[in-house]
Chains A and B, each alone.
Chain A
């Protein structure tokens, strides 16, 4: 089962690199630890929820910032949500951008907000790709009969 071992190593390295590059943080470890026999797909479920929610939030944000008169409180509320969910799954870089985003909202800085919106979209798509790759790897391992490496 060389293939499985290789895949497993790949997975471990991949996750390590994600941590290293700041895409994920400690919180993601917590998620993985919560996954067990009674809850085997927990991480995938939570992250999927995160993806869904994030898409929605990003749409709302884009809409809110397109308005003639921007309701910064609304924008702030959305960003706050986004920050909450990204911190919950450990999407570290997304969370950081959200923090900056909120500052601009407080200052009612339209340009800053728009810039942050782009940034957060970018970071989000990055981390999304990374996580999807990660899940793919995991699927492959399981399909090949292996087990996921312990975190």
Chain B
């Protein structure tokens, strides 16, 4: 079981492009010697280069020594020295290798767990050679996705969360009208930097093909990283600044950027888990407000489900509890997505939320019952329609939302998974629990409208913030991909289960969001919007849960 180097002991490329998938380097981990031998032979039959080990610890060591040595990892789930899922997560965090899980169990929950932990695939024993013949696709896919996302994150970072990518750019421009100028400036900046980013991307791509010392994100390093992110503020956490704060020799901005990306992905996943949990709690019934909370989380969860990572699932969530999530979060060197995790916590209860927030210690906003969501929202929504929110007369949250104005945060978060879903979702979940939420929500919808591009994916996230979140936003989210129409928006709204009892004020904002126009044209929008009142989930919910507290303007 030796790794045969293709070139005189020097691994020049990750993959031998000519012969690929032959020669793909696989690391197989399984404590069962019979299965390991079989796997080894099967993989060799597929013409892969195989290294085997029966210890997860050994595998980790080998990978840490030289990440570039392997293209793919296949690991058993049940291992004595380390849980397969744990290994999977570590591999995902520390190095961007595709990992395939292997198990004799075919329980749906386990498969789900594998997926949520980031596994590319889940195979059942006994493994068949036909399945192994196709595993190389995961390597290709990962590489493609990585370079794309890397580009996005690079752009974003350079643009100071402005988003070098056109879509990301939209997000930044999506920030409230008040920030319009600023955003435009940023956009220009981004455009300028886009060139640089592209160059960087090329460099990265080339670099990835060349022998380059990979950074191993040890616990220590990651701790520094998280500390830096928290210090900066999640929304403001730019790779450059993080790098400076970390002050680690030899660490490049690119390293930090890609790690930040993964971190966000992780938080998103956690968040969705929490959100789903919230939705599950919601499903168990609760007050309107709590339902709202859950609904939003639910939407959030669904939202996340729609996310590209595709790791979320309610079943996976079932394995989490808020506390557990916290634990998990904390265990991952406080990999806590402030806004997002808090959103997950929101579901627990106001108290839990504050305590969770405190526990997490990373929630920027002050954890107040009424403001909690706002603060949480703050953390997440950053670039989201803060101005919108403020305009939406979120009294309690207005002040809080100020910092959120920073569109960077939004994009920054969204970069985690190349779209703003994360932030959106998290903000969504934050919304519940505060009377200002509806307003906040309303503010959000505007995002997609204001900037077309944003709507693509990011609007999805925003959409989730809106009434959809109160409902199963999942369905709605996908609809939002269509930026130019509010139709998707509407449909999303229609998805909500609420009856329509629109309050002019809310509808105002709602319309704003839907129509994507400024307040000035609001009045005229009331009419068009009214036709949605019947299906406007947000209004329905709002009415139901909060009653006519917010009377007509």
Contacts and interface: CB of A to CB of B under 8 A. Distances in A.
A88 B78 contact: no
Interface stretch (A11-19, A47-55, A120-128): A47-55
B104 A80 contact: yes
A49 B33 contact: yes
**Those 10 A-B pairs whose CB atoms lie nearest each other, nearest first:** A85-B34, A84-B104, A88-B126, A50-B34, A87-B126, A88-B38, A88-B35, A49-B34, A49-B33, A27-B126
Contacts of B45: 34
A108 interface: no
B37 A46 contact: yes
A49 B37 contact: yes
In the complex, which of the residues B34, B80, B104, B105 has the most CB atoms of chain A within 10 Å of its own CB atom?
B34
Interface in B34-91: 34-35, 37-38, 41-42, 44-45, 78, 80
27 contacts: A27-B126, A30-B128, A30-B129, A34-B129, A39-B44, A45-B37, A46-B34, A46-B38, A46-B41, A49-B37, A50-B34, A52-B33, A77-B80, A80-B78, A80-B104, A81-B78, A85-B32, A85-B33, A85-B34, A87-B104, A87-B125, A88-B34, A88-B35, A88-B38, A88-B125, A88-B126, A90-B126
Interface residues of B, number: 19
A49 B34 CA distance: 6
Contacts of A50: 34
A79 to B, nearest CB: 10
A93 interface: no
Contacts of B44: 39
Given A53-B34, A84-B35, 5 more contacts: A27-B126, A31-B38, A81-B31, A85-B35, A88-B126
A77 B76 CA distance: 13
Nearest to B125: A84
Contact of A53 (B32, B125, B129): B32
A139 to B, nearest CB: 21
B436 to A, nearest CB: 48
A83 B104 contact: yes
Contacts of A45: 37
A50 B34 CA distance: 5
A87 B102 CA distance: 13
Interface string A68-106: 000000000100110111011110000000000000000
Contact of A89 (B38, B80, B129): B38
Interface of B: 31-35, 37-38, 41-42, 44-45, 78, 80, 104-105, 125-126, 128-129
Contacts of B33: 49, 52-53, 85
Chain A interface mostly helix, strand, loop or mixed?
A: helix
A90 B127 CA distance: 11
Interface string A7-36: 000000000000000000001001100100
Contacts of A83: 104
Contacts of A31: 38
A50 to B, nearest CB: 5
Number of chain A interface residues as a range: 20 to 34
Interface centre among A50, A77, A88 (most CB of B within 10 A): A88
B125 A34 contact: no
Contacts of A53: 32-34
Contacts of B105: 80
B43 to A, nearest CB: 11
A83 to B, nearest CB: 6
Contacts of A87: 104, 125-126
B99 to A, nearest CB: 19
Interface centre among A39, A46, A52 (most CB of B within 10 A): A46
B394 to A, nearest CB: 51
Contacts of A88: 32, 34-35, 38, 125-126
Contacts of A52: 33
A118 B104 CA distance: 22
Contacts of A89: 34, 38
A41 to B, nearest CB: 11
Nearest to A81: B32
Contacts of A42: 41
Contacts of B34: 46, 49-50, 53, 84-85, 88-89
B338 to A, nearest CB: 37
Nearest to A27: B126
B536 to A, nearest CB: 48
Interface in A125-148: none
B35 A34 contact: no
B44 to A, nearest CB: 8
Nearest to B80: A77
Q: Which of B31, B42, B80, B125 counts the most chain A CB atoms within 10 A? A: B125
Contacts of B37: 45-46, 49
B541 to A, nearest CB: 42
A50 B38 CA distance: 10
Contacts of B104: 80, 83-84, 87
A42 B80 CA distance: 27
Given A84-B104, A87-B125, A88-B125, A34 B41 contact: yes
Contacts of A77: 78, 80
A77 B33 CA distance: 15
A73 to B, nearest CB: 11
A87 B124 CA distance: 11
A88 B76 CA distance: 13
A49 B5 CA distance: 28
A60 B52 CA distance: 25
A34 B42 contact: yes
B111 to A, nearest CB: 16
Contacts of B42: 34
A85 B54 CA distance: 14
Interface centre among A42, A83, A84, A89 (most CB of B within 10 A): A84
Contacts of B32: 53, 81, 84-85, 88
A88 B129 CA distance: 12
Contacts of B31: 81
- The residue among B38, B44, B80, B128 with the most chain A CB atoms within 10 A of its own CB is B38
